[in-house]
Amino acid sequence: MSHLNTLKGYLPWIQTPLIINAPMSGIAKSKLATAVTTAGGLGQIGFMDDLQDLTKELEITKKALADIKTETLPIGLGVIVFGTPIKAWLDLFAKYKPAVAWLSFASASELQEWSEGIRLVSPQTRIWIQLGSVSASVEVARACQPDALVLQGIDAGGHGHEDGASIVSLIPEVADTLSELGFDIPLIAAGGIVDGRGCAAALSLGASGVVMGTRMLAAEETAIPAIYRDAIFEAVDGGQVTARSRVFDEVWGPNFWPKTYDGRCLKNQVYQKYKSGVDIQSIRSWLSQAMNGSASESLSIQDMGSIWAGTGVGMVKEQRKAADIVEEVRGSTRKNLERAMTSL
């Protein structure tokens, strides 16, 4: 059985190529998840600290997707594992039984605990684990027996492995390494994919589906302020206007993220000062004074709040419905794969 058939076995509503919205914390909610799943993708709700709010979003999603007859709630649910108490989350998984549990940002032992706990309370839920290196993929494959590995390249916006590679080399090396060790695990590509060309490339590399985060910032169902979305649309030359750094978390106080991870954001004055050697305490003081004084007029929206975005941001130019994005990328992917075949 191919990996695609395996995925369709527990995600029967999906169309191919499989397109997934990233479980972006706080902004990928019920509206986005519902729209993407209804369009034949895997919609996902991102991590939320407030479990009461998350429960409300899950209830809305359950009602909205009631016509899709499956034994699970036909979405993925993202969990930032490190620092998160497991008990209350297991209660949520037991009650709502999402089709996919997307686990990220933790050690193999922590991920193993969560995988075993979720499988115990909701056996129908499949475990997908997001990683950014070959070594982590091997360790997690052994410890957790995941149903899929989400391989996040360094082009991705938001948090990820500080030391990593693009999906161009990451996916093939992970695929080869796992195969040599006897593992047969579907791989999902994330990082830098915003259109059918990127999707076609990821599938050619060996991915069974693709994740889009930055592109979904343009979806009208994504819960971000219009001023943030405008900053995304104005960005050009994605590799130049974004950067990976821990400073985007450190500027607001002590950085609680493990040392393994940093994040890719739109560059701002905070980043430029940090890069030029200004110490973090001085940057915090400057930003506080600038935001609370007359100098606030000289700050852009990305100076006042981190706007997580990947290198594909330069190709994201207009707001659209999530379903239209999914259908456009799906159709463009097929055309690009056909074009590649005819050029051989």
Same-domain status, 200 and 336: yes
Q: How far is Cα 151 from Cα 164, in angstroms, rounded to an integer?
A: 10
Would you say residue 28 lies in a domain? yes
What b/e sequence results for 73-93 when a residue is b if at least 16 CB atoms lie within 10 Å of its CB, and e otherwise? Answer: bbbbbbbbbbeeeeeebbebb
Would you say residue 151 lies in a domain? yes
The lowest-confidence range among 237-246, 290-299, 326-335 is 290-299
214 and 309 in contact (C-beta within 8 Å)?
A: yes
Q: How far is Cα 167 from Cα 77, in angstroms, rounded to an integer?
A: 23
The mean pLDDT of 130-136, rounded to a whole number, is: 97
Single-letter amino acid code for the residue at 58 = L
Tens digits of residue pLDDT in 317-342: 999 999 999 999 999 999 999 998 88
The mean pLDDT of 274-281, rounded to a whole number, is: 96
Same-domain status, 275 and 212: no
Same-domain status, 189 and 333: yes
**pLDDT at position 77:** 98
**Global pTM value:** 0.96
Tens digits of residue pLDDT in 200-226: 999 999 999 999 999 999 999 999 999
The mean pLDDT of 256-263, rounded to a whole number, is: 96
CATH of the domain at 172: 3.20.20.70
Asked whether residue 140 carries a pLDDT value surpassing 70, the answer given is yes
Same-domain status, 249 and 209: no
Same-domain status, 261 and 186: no
Would you say residue 24 lies in a domain? yes
Would you say residue 229 lies in a domain? no
Asked whether residue 1 carries a pLDDT value surpassing 60, the answer given is no
Same-domain status, 161 and 71: yes
Question: Which residue segment(s) compose the domain that 178 sits in?
Answer: 3-224+319-342
Same-domain status, 284 and 142: no
Would you say residue 64 lies in a domain? yes
**pLDDT at position 214:** 98
242 and 313 in contact (C-beta within 8 Å)?
A: yes
Burial class (CB in 10 A: 0-12, 13-18, 19+), 181: exposed
Same-domain status, 166 and 240: no
Same-domain status, 141 and 263: no
Q: How far is Cα 180 from Cα 258, in angstroms, rounded to an integer?
A: 30
Would you say residue 231 lies in a domain? no
Tens digits of residue pLDDT in 94-131: 999 999 999 999 999 999 999 999 999 999 999 999 99
The mean pLDDT of 179-192, rounded to a whole number, is: 98
Q: What is the residue-averaged pLDDT of the chain? A: 96
The mean pLDDT of 312-316, rounded to a whole number, is: 98
Domain count within the chain: 2
Same-domain status, 213 and 244: no
Same-domain status, 117 and 39: yes
47 pLDDT tier (thresholds 50, 70, 90) = very high
**Phi/psi class of residue 192: alpha, beta or left (left: φ > 0; alpha: ψ in -120 to 50)?**
left
User: Which among 93, 78, 61 is positioned nearest to 24, based on CA atoms?
Assistant: 78
Would you say residue 313 lies in a domain? no
Place of tokens 């990082």: 191
134/253: higher pLDDT: 134
Three-state SS for the chain is: CCHHHHHHHHCCCCCCCEEEECCCCCCCCHHHHHHHHHCCCECEECCCCCHHHHHHHHHHHHHHCCCCCCCCEEEEEEEECCCCCHHHHHHHHHHHCEEEEEEECCCHHHHHHHHHHHHHHCCCCEEEEEECCHHHHHHHHHHHCCCEEEEECCCCCEEEECCCCCHHHHHHHHHHHHHHCCCCCCEEEECCCCCHHHHHHHHHHCCCEEEECCHHHHECCCCCCHHHHHHHHHCCCHHHHEEEECHHHHCCCCCCCCCCEEEEEECCHHHHHHHCCCCHHHHHHHHHHHHHCHHHHHCCHHHHCCCECCHHHHHCCCCECHHHHHHHHHHHHHHHHHHHHHCC
**Joined tokens for residue 284:** 């915090």
Same-domain status, 177 and 133: yes
Would you say residue 314 lies in a domain? no
